[in-house]
């Protein structure tokens, strides 16, 4: 049986506590796309070593993220959820693709410039990060990549790399397209609504975390910063605080913003903020419960990740094989073995 659904791939970094912004602009899309396509969600642990990190934290955050992805509704039967480091093809593809990646283009990546600015130590990995990401996407013959706006430039580089490879070595890769969230892609900080809600930059009160307990969520919305003009109307430039809350409420309940404006016309800010808080509690409480259950069952998490890795290898390996062959490497056996037992040196 052939599968004509589009192939979907996205990567998520196992670092930092995931916020409501990550849910709204990421996890929510993943769960939706799982219904529409043959979807792969990769915990990109190899990307996380490109900046200063702590091995114990990486270990814990990787399991946290896996549990959170399943808790948010990704289904191991329908989607492939796996760790990048479990599929060695990723690291190999990155090296091969570095041959068709321009040094100049890597130097123009705004994320690299931002993350390296003023640092005493900048790893080579931070510079080649987009090559690893291109490999992630291209190994799976991906059609669609759900990502945030901040990843546009990296996706563009992946497309350039694919085209250059295809041109130089023969048609090997599909050219992927980005899918960007229409609503909820920019959830703002509750205390500083002109700044994006961020794991690293937001204050504890400014960010809502996906695993915050209900009372913490209620408190954060109660103290959310609003605007001086007392009217509940969507106007991100003039009324960033209220607009952000409207957007959050729309994400949480699925109701269009226009409808919410009507529903809360004439309501006070206090009442509105409380309603938004309740909606978010309702959204996140079941996710948190599933997260706690799964996170405390490490054996089950490991099993799910092993299933994902095996499925991912079967899809990635043939692409990697074709890359080696077309680039002129000597093949010693028809086909290579799947999995950890595959000897490369023979
Ligand atoms: N760079 C991305 C994470 C990422 C990714 C990918 C996203 C790594 N590989 C492949 C989509 C496809 C980020 O920081 N959000």
Write the CATH number of the domain with boundaries 7-179+297-341.
Answer: 3.40.50.620
Strands (E), the chain: 7-12, 38-43, 80-83, 144-146, 177-179
Residue spans of the domains in the chain: they are 7-179+297-341, 214-295
The pLDDT score that the predictor gives to residue 197 is 95
Provide the β-strand partners of residue 9.
Answer: 40
Cβ(33) – ligand 1 distance below 6 Å: no
Cα 24 to ligand 1 centroid, rounded to whole Å: 16
Provide the β-strand partners of residue 125.
Answer: none
The pLDDT score that the predictor gives to residue 30 is 94
The pLDDT score that the predictor gives to residue 130 is 98
The model's pLDDT over 240-254, given as tens digits with 9 standing for 90+, comes to 999 999 999 999 999
The pLDDT score that the predictor gives to residue 339 is 44
Residue nearest to atom 4 of ligand 1 (CA): 11
The model's pLDDT over 120-177, given as tens digits with 9 standing for 90+, comes to 999 999 999 999 999 999 999 999 999 988 999 999 999 999 999 999 999 999 999 9
Residue nearest to atom 5 of ligand 1 (CA): 11
The pLDDT score that the predictor gives to residue 230 is 80
Instruction: Name the percent of the chain lying above pLDDT 70.
Output: 95
The pLDDT score that the predictor gives to residue 201 is 87
The pLDDT score that the predictor gives to residue 116 is 96
Cα 207 to ligand 1 centroid, rounded to whole Å: 22
Cα 333 to ligand 1 centroid, rounded to whole Å: 33
The model's pLDDT over 308-345, given as tens digits with 9 standing for 90+, comes to 999 999 999 999 999 999 999 998 866 554 443 333 33
Q: What is the mean pLDDT of residues 78-96?
A: 98
The pLDDT score that the predictor gives to residue 1 is 54
Cβ(146) – ligand 1 distance below 6 Å: no
Residue nearest to atom 6 of ligand 1 (CA): 11
The pLDDT score that the predictor gives to residue 321 is 96
- DSSP string of 50-86? GSS--HHHHHHHHHHHHHHHHHTT--TTTSEEEEGGG
Q: What is the mean pLDDT of residues 9-38?
A: 93
- Give the nearest ligand 1 atom to 13 CA: 3
The CATH architecture that domain 214-295 belongs to is Orthogonal Bundle (1.10)
Angle at 233 between CA 230 and CA 235, to 5 degrees: 110
Answer for the pair 313, 258: CB distance below 8 angstroms, yes or no. Answer: no
The pLDDT score that the predictor gives to residue 268 is 92
The pLDDT score that the predictor gives to residue 249 is 97
Averaged pLDDT of the chain = 93
The pLDDT score that the predictor gives to residue 125 is 98
The pLDDT score that the predictor gives to residue 335 is 56
What order of strands is seen across the sheet that includes strand 38-43? 80-83, 38-43, 7-12, 144-146, 177-179
């Amino acid at each position: 049986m052939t599968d004509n659904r589009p192939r979907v791939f996205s990567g998520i970094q196992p670092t930092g506590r995931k916020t409501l912004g990550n849910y709204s602009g990421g996890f929510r899309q993943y769960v939706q796309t799982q219904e529409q396509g043959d979807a792969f969600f990769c915990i990109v642990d190899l990307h996380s070593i490109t900046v200063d990190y702590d091995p114990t934290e990486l270990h814990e955050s990787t399991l946290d993220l896996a549990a959170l992805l399943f808790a948010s509704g990704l289904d191991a039967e329908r989607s492939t959820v796996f760790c990048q480091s479990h599929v060695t093809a990723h690291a190999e593809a990155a090296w091969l693709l570095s041959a068709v990646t321009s040094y100049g283009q890597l130097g123009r990546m705004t994320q690299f410039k931002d993350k390296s600015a003023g640092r005493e130590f900048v790893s080579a990995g931070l510079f080649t990060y987009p090559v690893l990401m291109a490999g992630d996407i291209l190994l799976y013959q991906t059609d669609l990549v759900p990502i945030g706006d901040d990843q546009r430039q990296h996706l563009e580089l992946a497309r350039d790399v694919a085209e250059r490879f295809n041109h130089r070595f023969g048609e090997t890769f599909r050219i992927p397209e980005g899918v960007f969230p229409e609503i909820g892609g920019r959830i703002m900080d509750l205390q500083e609504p002109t700044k994006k809600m961020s794991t690293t930059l937001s204050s504890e009160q400014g960010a809502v975390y996906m695993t915050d307990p209900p009372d913490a969520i209620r408190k954060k919305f109660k103290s959310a910063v609003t605007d001086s003009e007392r009217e509940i109307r969507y106007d991100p430039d003039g009324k960033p605080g209220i607009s952000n809350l409207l957007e959050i409420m729309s994400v949480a309940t699925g109701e269009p913003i226009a409808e919410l404006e009507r529903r809360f016309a004439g309501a006070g800010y206090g009442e509105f903020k409380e309603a938004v808080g309740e909606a978010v509690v309702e959204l996140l409480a079941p996710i948190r419960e599933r997260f706690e259950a799964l996170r405390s069952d490490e054996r089950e998490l490991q099993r799910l990740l092993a299933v994902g890795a095996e499925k991912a290898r079967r899809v990635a390996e043939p692409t990697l094989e074709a890359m080696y062959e077309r680039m002129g490497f000597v093949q010693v056996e028809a086909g290579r073995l799947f999995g950890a037992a595959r000897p490369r040196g023979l």
